[in-house]
Copies of this chain bind each other. A is one copy, B any other.
């Protein structure tokens, strides 16, 4: 399953911990936006980890499911590569 994860985190230290966690599960495509490929197990584990880190009163952390039909209708307006572009580089 593909998920787009966006956040607004008030505290710098907390924001760093959260983005580090997300880096382990996907790709940063904007400053506070990550594209992640998550099976049910990974989604559960990521949610649990982030729930420990966020301040639910002041922060915002949104998970958007993006299905295979939505991807071809999604696009980037500038030169930053397609959405959910394969990021693996084989040398």
A-side residues, CB < 8 A to B, are 1, 4, 6-8, 29-33, 47, 50-51, 54-57, 59-67, 69-71, 73-80, 83
Smallest CB separation, A73 vs chain B (Å): 4
6 closest A-B pairs by beta carbon, nearest first, are A65-B73, A61-B77, A60-B80, A56-B78, A65-B70, A8-B30
Q: From DSSP, what is the main secondary structure of chain A's interface residues?
A: mixed
Q: Can you name 17 A-B residue pairings with CB atoms under 8 Å?
A: A1-B73, A4-B64, A6-B6, A6-B30, A8-B31, A32-B32, A51-B77, A56-B79, A60-B76, A61-B77, A62-B74, A62-B83, A63-B75, A64-B66, A65-B66, A66-B66, A70-B70
> Assuming A33-B33, A65-B66, what are 15 further A-B pairs, CB within 8 angstroms?
A6-B33, A7-B30, A31-B32, A32-B32, A54-B77, A56-B79, A60-B76, A60-B78, A61-B76, A62-B76, A63-B75, A63-B83, A64-B66, A64-B74, A70-B70
